[in-house]
Structure 1
Amino acid sequence: MKSKIDMNTSFTLTGQINLGNRTSSQGGADGIGLAFHTGNITDIGKSGANLGIGGLQNVIGFKLDTYHNGYRTPQANEDGAKVASTEPNGYGWNTDPDGTLFPQFGAFVKTSQKPVQAQDGKYYSRWWATTDKSSVQKLNLGDLDGKFHDFVVSYDGSNRKLTIKYTETGGNVLTWSTSIPDEHQAMAMVVSASTDGNKNLQQLKISSFDFKQAATVNVKYVDQKGNRLAQGSVSYPSGADVNGTYDTKRLNIPNYTFIGMSNSDITGGTSKPASGTLSKPGDNGTVIYVYAPAYSTSKVKTVTETVHYIGQDGKPVANDASGIPTSFVTITNPIDGSTATYYSKTESGQPTLNNNGVPVGDWTQGNSTDFAAIINPSVIGQHVVSTTDPGNDLTQTTVKSIDSNSDNLDFTVTYEPNQEAANVTYIDDTTGKTLSAKDLTGDYGSTDPYRTGDTIADYEKQGYQLVSDNYPTKGVVYNQDGTVQSFEVHLTHGTTQTSESQTVNETIHYVYKNGDKAADDYQATPLNFTRTVTTDKVTGDKNLSSIF
C-alpha cells in the first residue's frame, strides 16, 4: 500500500489465500506473511525464511509457514539496514517452532531491534523476527491443494485488537488474536510470500479492504550515494492526522557523520524538514538524512631534506642547503578500511576533510613525491666527487620516492680541490730558442715544491749564465682556479777571453842574377802584433779581435 493505516480506527480485510499444491511431507516453501510495521511505506522485508517480515521495524505480523527452517547465522558482517532484501542468508533468520510438531503452521511474528552475532563473531544490529510460540497452530497438509481458502483480517480500533481467521479444507476455522501497542499510531501493511528450492505458487486474493488513511511521512538515513544506512521511526505527537505534526530525529550512526538533509536526486531528492505539519491524508513525503563516512586522519608527518657540503678533510666548504619540507597524511575510510595518502609542500597542520574524505587545501593524492633539485654550490677551486643521495647525481641532489614512512633525509656532498697547472720555460736569450719546459700540477690552494735552482745550476754547468728568473722563490701557489700560471727563466751563453801576441821581423837580401851577394842584407824594424780571443762556453766557438 502507498499509505499507512490509522491504527486508531477499525478495518477489515477479507480475501482468500492459496498456499500452493506441493504436498510432500515437508510441504512447499516458504509460505505467506502479513506484516503491520512502523517503518516507511516503501520498506521491504527480507526474503527466504524471513517471509518478508524480518528486517521491518516494530512488526506485528502473521504468517502461514509451509516449510520448517532452522537457525541461520547472518553471513553479512554489517548492520541489517545495509543488507539487501534479496540476501536472506546475509541477513540470517531465527529458527521455526518444532518441525516435527508443526511442519506447517500459522502464528504471529514480531520484530525487535537487537544485536545478532554474525559469522565473524561480532554483533550487528538487526530487526530480528521471532515467532510467537504461544500463538502457533498447526496447519492441515491437505490445505496445500492449490485452492483458495478464506482469510479474514479484522481490527478493532477501540480496543486495538487484531484478529486473523483462516478457513481450512473441510471448513474448520483457525483464529489468532493479538493486541497493537498504543504507541503505534500509524502502520504500513505488507503482504509477502517467498520460496526457495521447494517452490510453490502462493497467492493472496483481496475481496475487500476498507481502512482510514493516516497522514504520515517517511524517514530515511542514507549515505552520499543514496545507500541505506539505518532505519528510524516517525513520531506523531497529536496523532497521524491532517494538520497534526510529525517529528523525526537525527541518528548517531557508527563510523558516519551527518552532513545535511538531502537536496539531490542521488540521495533521494529534496528532503522534507525534520519536523513539520501533515497537510494531507496518506503519504506526505520523506525526511532524508544524509551521512558521510567519518574519515579519520593519521598524524601529519613532515619529511625534511638537508644537504651538507664538505671537503675531503670533513670540514664544511659551504653552508647546508634544505629542500622544501613535504607533509604526508593518510586518510582512513571507516567503512571499508581503505586508505588514501596525500602530500603537500605548503601545508603542515592537520587538514580539514571534505565530505568525500579529501583534505581541504593544497594537498595532492599520492604516497610519494620528489624533492626539487638542489644545485650544488660553486666552491672556488673545488669540485664535487661524491654524493650520498640515491640518484648519486654529482651536479644536483634530486631525491625520488620519499614516502610517508620515510625519516628525515640527510645527505652529504663531498668536494675535492681542483688540479691546477703551471709551467716554467727555460729560454736561451743568445739564440732565442727554448731550452726546456717544466709542467707543474697540484691541488688548488697548495704550493708546489718545485724550485728552478737545480735546473739553472745544470745549465750553468753547461756554460750558461742566468739572466732572469720570475718563478716565485717560495714556489708557485695554486690559487688561480683554472688559469695556467706561466713563468720564464732566461739564460745566456757564458764566454771566456784570452790575449795572444806575436813579433814579426822583416829581412831583405840583395843578390845577383847568379845568386851572388850584391849588398848587405836589410834588417827592418820588428813589428809586434796582439789579439783577443773570445770563446763561447756553450758552443766552444771563438771570436777573434786584433790590436796593432
Structure 2
Amino acid sequence: MNSKSIIEKEVQENQYIDIRNICSINGSAKFDPNTNITTLTEAINTQAGAIAGKTALDMRRDFTLVADIYLGSNSSGADGIAIAFHRGSIGFIGTMGGGLGILGAPNGIGFEIDTYWKATSDETGDSFGHGQMNGPHAGFVSTNRNANYLTALAPMQKIPAPNNTWRVLTINWDARNNKLIASLQEKNNDSSTRSATPRYQTWELLNPAFDLNQKYTFVIGSATGAANNKHQIGVTLFEAYFTKPSIEANPVDIEIGTAFDPLNYEPIGLKATDEVDGDITDKITVESNDVDTSKPGAYRVKYKVVNSYGESDEKTIEVVVYTKPTITAHDVAIKKDLAFDPLNYESIGLKATDPIDGDITDKITVESNDVDTSKPGKYHVTYKVINSYEQFDVKPIEVIVYTKPTIEAHDVKIKKDTAFDPLNYEPIGLKATDPIDGDITDKITVEFNDVDTSKPGAYRVRYKVVNNYEERDEKIITVTVPVIDDGWENGDPTGWKFFSGETITLEEDEENALNGKWVFYADKHVAIYKQVELKNNTPYQITVYVKPEDKETEKEHIVKVSFKSDSAGQESEQIINERLIDAEQIQKGYRKLTSIPFTPTTIVPNKKPVIIVENFLPGWIGGVRIIVEPTKEEL
C-alpha cells in the first residue's frame, strides 16, 4: 500500500474487501479469503480474536470505516465487538473478556458494542450512566483511563440484543471539526423480523483526545466468556490516509546466467520510503527468494520493510529468467515443380519454443528464401523468431529440389569374340549424372544383358541408376556383333577375292584408308566377293564404305551390293544399287551406303552364300560390314 495515497479502497468481486494487507489476524480469529469475512469468535466459551492494524493512520486527515458486523443469534450471549484507535505499537491487542480486546490500548479511543446482558457489573460507577446501563449497549470509550474496564466518553445507547442479523457499523473521523461519529444500523428491514428498538442509531464524540501530530493504529476485537456468541466482521470500506512505509520494486526480466542480488539489482528500482523516517531502503529485507538464474523460469522475490513505529510493508515481484528461444527445422528434399511454402511445409517440422513464452511457432518469420522448385538445386531458407524478451534464434535449413538422374550410353558394334563388360566397355561412354548428387556413374547397375559376342547378332543391355532421393533413370542400348566387320586395319584381306579367285590386294595408304593404314583400291570398275555365314529368316543389314578417286564423279559413281545364296548358282539378289552422291558423307571423303534390311530364305544347307561388292568407277573401298538387324522387342 502506498503511504502517499489518500484513500485506501479495494474493489472485490464480493461485497467485502481483503484487509490482510493492512491487518494481522490474531487469536481465535479466522479470515475466509473466499468471502473476505473474518470470524472473530465462534459460539464457544472463552474465545478471543482480534484484527490488529499493521499500519498507522494520519489523524490530521479524515477517515471512514464501514463494516458489516454479526453479533450472533443468542440474545443472552456475550461479549460483543469493539474497535479502538490508539498510539500503542503495531499489532497491539488489549485485554479480552469485558475489555473486548481494546482495553489497555495506550491513549486509545474506542467504540464498544457490548452484548452481555449483565454488562453493568463491568463498569460500576462509570460516567454517562455506563455503570447503570443494563443489557446490550454501545458507545465511545476510553481504552486506558481505567485498567479494569472501558470508560465511557459519551452517553451510551441501548442496542438490540443479538438476533441473528447483520448490522452496518460506520465510524467517521472529521479531522477539521475534531469530531468522531459512529452509526449502527440493522441490515434486515423485514417487518416480520425487525427489532422493536430503533434500527438506526448514531453516536457523536466531540473533541476526542487525539494528538494529531502522532500516529494512531487500530485494533478490532471480540471475546466470549461464560456466555458466547459467534462474532463476525466484513469490511466494505476503509478510506484513510495510512502512514505505513511503502516499498517500490519493479518486476524484472534477466538473462539466464546473470548474477542476481535481489537487494542490489538496479533494474528492480528497489526503494522504501516513510513519511516520518524518510528513505528507509537500507531497512528492506528479503523475506523469500527462489530465483535461480541457471534455469529459465518465473520466480518470486518478497521484500519487507519496517519503519521506526513498527509499521511494515511487503512487496512481491516476479523475476523472469529468460533465454533465447529455439527453432526446430529440418533440411528437406522436394521434387521438382512441387509447391513449397517454407512456413507450412510439414516435412520441415518447423517449431519454435521458449522456456517462458511456450510455443511461439506463430512468431516465426522467414528472413530469406531462395528456393525455386522449377530448377533442381540446393537452396536455403533462414528462419527467425523473437520471444517477448527480444531474444531471438535464427535457423537456416537446406532445401534440395531434386529430379531424376540421367544415364548416357551409346549403341556399340563389337567384333565377334571380343571380351565385353557392359559397365566398362569404353565405346559405350557410360555415365550417370544427377543435378544434386553429381556424377553417380558408380551407382549404375545392369538390369538386363543378353550380349553373346561368340555369335553375330543384335543384343540389348538395360542400365539403371537410382539417386539419393529414390529417383531413377533407365537406358537401353543395342550391342551389335556383326557377321562381318572388315576394315582391314591390319592389312588382312579377310577372305575377300576377285572373281578370278585371287585374293584382293590391299594398299598401305594411311591418307586414304578409312581405318588404320590399309585400304582396297581399284583404278577401274571392279567386283569383289566373300563367302559369309548367314541364316534363313534372319534379317541382315549391309554397310559399304566407298571413296571416289574423283569427287566430281560422285553423281555418276554407282556402287552395287548383291547376295547369292549359292556361290555356284547363277541367281543373285540385289541389296544396294546407289549413286555415291545420294549416300551419307562421312570422314576422309568416304560415303556410307547402308542397305535396307534383307532376310535370306533360300540358303541351301551346308552351302555358304556370297556377298558381292561392285564399284563402277575408280576409288577406294574402306570396309564392309554385315550385321543382324536389331529387333524392336521390348525388354
Query: TM-score, normalized by length of structure 1?
Result: 0.31
Query: TM-score, normalized by length of structure 2?
Result: 0.28
Q: Which structure features the higher share of strand residues?
A: 1
